Chains A and B, each alone.
Chain A
Amino acid sequence: MARNVTNQRKLINTVLAWGIGLLIFFPILWTILTSFKSEATAIADPPVFLFFDWTLDNYRVVQERSDYMRFLWNSVIIAGGSTLLGIIVAVPAAWSMAFVPSARTKDILLWMLSTKMLPAVGVLYPIYLIFIKMGLLDSRVGLTVVLMLINLPIIIWMLYTYFREIPGEILEAARMDGASLKEEILYVLTPMAVPGIASTVLLNIILAWNEAFWTLNLTAAKAAPLTAFIASYSSPEGLFYAKLSAASTMAIAPILILGWFSQKQLVRGLTFGAVK
């Protein structure tokens, strides 16, 4: 029986949802608005919200000073590459943990997650030295591998959770029909887990896109992604908020657009299995 929801309650819920939504979105909105202000207006006290002389000058300066496309391309390669590599490694791992668990599977899952609890700076120097030895500093290959390894526990955990929702009997049926292990994973399991894999991919692209510690520490000029692009607009002496906001807006725009178009998939994937 459907719950009896009054119009008043609906109104309150709607207003509340919009309020919370706007509150969460406000910092991004403020960044976008600041990017259209002059440096003097950006620091005005009291702050100016909408009524100011809108200008595209900050975007012009940022375009002149930085090769945005090079940073963007690096971000696409590093975020996309690390996620794809991660999925390739994680699908078989999650399959084995979900469908042929051993006595230690739970321990392994927890151990993998525990690596996320280590502060990144704790392993900066070992990784930095390894990168020097292997000639991987400031290379997209090196950064792709590092980001893949960093996000791998999350990818495996997410896929493991989705795979557990898929009845093992279906895979068993495929095996009885003569499917090999490869065919079972490729043609039976993967198509059924597409919503889960898609949301995992999206979430990991976002995580890799926004990753700022390793991308700032292991890159210089060639492999620097958009996080380095943003960092270059912070200044110790001089006004920079408007230009920094323009750079930030340009850096988050692609991922915002991706998130906007895939939000249905993202929500579906994230709530997959929540309601049976």
Chain B
Amino acid sequence: MTLRTAFCAASVLALATATGAFADSHTTTLTIATVNNGDMVRMQGLTDDFTAKNPDIALEWVTLEENVLRQRVTQDIATKGGQFDVMTIGTYEVPIWGAQNWLVSLNDLPAEWDADDILPAMRGGLTVDGELYAAPFYGESSMVMYRKDLMEAAGMEMPDAPTWDDIRAAAEAMTDKDAEVYGICLRGKAGWGENMAFLSAMANSYGARWFDEEWKPQFDTDAWKATLTDYLDLMNNYGPPGASTNGFNENLSLFQQGKCGMWIDATVAASFVTNPDDSTVADQVGFALAPDKGLGKRGNWLWAWSLAIPAGSDKVDAAKKFVAWATSKEYTALVAANEGWANVPPGTRTSLYENEEYTSAAPFAEMTLESINAADPTNPTVDPVPYTGVQFVAIPEFAGIATQVGQEFSAALAGQQTAEEALEKAQALTTDEMEAAGY
């Protein structure tokens, strides 16, 4: 009898699994893949506005951790799996996927969407051969966040546009290891989007580059040596212990607890460190542009989470309606009306930074805009390069190579090897990978 019962239960379960097949045929259901960050979560809470205006479109969300999302959407788009109708992708993927014709062009979004209002740096990074392949939802650069009280106590003042020498001097002055206050917190965790995002941007300001115009790796140059040596010197002398495992969230936590004098990271962090609910130093944070070395480039990156439509989707029209809604000026106004101007997604539209209500609600707005404008993904380095991308190289091989290089640099920060050894290994492995890829 036990087995018969089991058979019956299995049949019931099989029937239950089949129930998903009966969907309402009058409604177009869009499946949207996204990352879990504050702005995206907020959008999910406001979609009633969209579905009220478009009653024939239903939305289903798939929220995933960034690396899982990247793997899932890449796998789906490469195999034309068609699981997602709208994808949240970064500025690294857009030029590569656009060139492969994996994305639907968004050049024909309605005129009221106002493509000319998108910040030029963002639009440039999301356009391939004149076709806009993704609509920016929120954009960020990187900048210096520093403790005004510690600077004042040290008798120093942070310039709005500091040099790396200013940063070093400030880090030295603010470090008090006995009180667990470290002059500077930087990313050390290995990964192309972790320590290599910071170091690639820093290298740009030092006159270094990933590849020369013949795609030859450049880790054997003096500029890269100076970049890595100065980074290690800063972190070893004035950084927190165990920095080789610190990423964005670890440094955020340290800064919020008052343990960092400075933190150079994503502009989006500004709203976290100035939030008195989470940060013990909320009213003591100042902002400055990412440092330079006097060579004409600053060490700041450019990133945007954007909405794109995979070419495999059979619901392109509905998907375009959604993308246009989520990245419109009207959506920004909707967020402002519901949650205040400080919570609108930043970094994508010129009009936002011309809005006095926004600039007065977000003290970091001006510095964010200046940082974004200071980044040029089509001309990121002092010397010319054959690639686009500020803190990345927009080729498919980059993520794998940069993660390996990041591991070497992270090992150098952990004291397992010298800067010279790390650069030598980086040069060798990058050369091997690029040769294998046919460059």
Check if A72 is an interface residue, CB within 8 A of chain B.
no
* Most chain B beta carbons < 10 A, residue from A141, A194, A237, A240: A237
Check if A102 is an interface residue, CB within 8 A of chain B.
no
Interface string of B173-205 (1 = CB under 8 A from A): 000000000000000000001000000000000
Check if B252 is an interface residue, CB within 8 A of chain A.
yes
Task: Mark the stretch among A4-12, A82-90, A162-170 that contacts chain B.
Answer: A82-90
Least CB distance from B269 to A in Å reads 7
Q: Which residues of A contact B428 (CB under 8 A)?
A: none
Check if B253 is an interface residue, CB within 8 A of chain A.
yes
Q: Which residues of B contact A81 (CB under 8 A)?
A: 10, 13-14, 17
B3 and A186 contact, CB distance less than 8 A: yes
Residue of B nearest to A191 (CB): B2
Given contacts A80-B13, A132-B79, A217-B72, contact A236 B20 (CB under 8 A): no
Q: Which residues of A contact B26 (CB under 8 A)?
A: none
B10 and A238 contact, CB distance less than 8 A: no
Residue of B nearest to A235 (CB): B36
Measured in the bound complex, the distance between the Cα atoms of B320 and A157 in whole Å is 52
B60 and A221 contact, CB distance less than 8 A: yes
Task: Mark the stretch among B62-70, B124-132, B323-331, B413-421 that contacts chain A.
Answer: B62-70
Check if B213 is an interface residue, CB within 8 A of chain A.
no
Measured in the bound complex, the distance between the Cα atoms of B33 and A224 in whole Å is 13
Check if A94 is an interface residue, CB within 8 A of chain B.
no
Interface string of A170-198 (1 = CB under 8 A from B): 00000000000000011000110010010
Check if B44 is an interface residue, CB within 8 A of chain A.
yes
Check if B110 is an interface residue, CB within 8 A of chain A.
no
Q: Which residues of B contact A238 (CB under 8 A)?
A: 37-38, 249, 252, 272
Q: Which residue from A44, A65, A84, A231 sits with its C-beta under 8 Å from B6?
A: A84
Total A-B residue pairs with C-beta atoms closer than 8 Å? 130
Q: Which residues of A contact B81 (CB under 8 A)?
A: 128, 131-132, 137
Measured in the bound complex, the distance between the Cα atoms of B84 and A127 in whole Å is 18
Residue of B nearest to A212 (CB): B68
Interface range for B: 35 or more
Check if B333 is an interface residue, CB within 8 A of chain A.
no
Interface residues of A in 58-86 (CB under 8 A from B): 64-65, 77, 80-81, 84-85
A85 and B10 contact, CB distance less than 8 A: yes
Measured in the bound complex, the distance between the Cα atoms of B249 and A64 in whole Å is 24
Given contacts A132-B81, A222-B20, contact A239 B253 (CB under 8 A): yes
Q: List 20 A-B contacts (CB under 8 A).
A: A43-B253, A45-B253, A45-B257, A65-B45, A84-B9, A131-B81, A132-B80, A132-B82, A137-B82, A141-B17, A190-B2, A216-B72, A217-B72, A220-B33, A220-B83, A221-B31, A235-B36, A236-B65, A238-B37, A238-B252
Give the B-binding residues of A (Cβ under 8 A): 39-40, 43-45, 64-65, 77, 80-81, 84-85, 87-88, 91, 124-125, 128-129, 131-132, 137-141, 144, 185-186, 190-191, 194, 197, 216-217, 220-224, 228, 231-240
Give the A-binding residues of B (Cβ under 8 A): 2-4, 6-7, 9-10, 13-14, 16-18, 20, 31, 33, 35-38, 41, 44-45, 60-66, 68, 72, 75, 79-84, 193, 248-249, 252-253, 256-257, 259, 266, 268-269, 272, 277-278
Closest 8 CB pairs of A and B: A221-B60, A232-B63, A234-B65, A140-B17, A236-B66, A84-B10, A81-B13, A43-B253
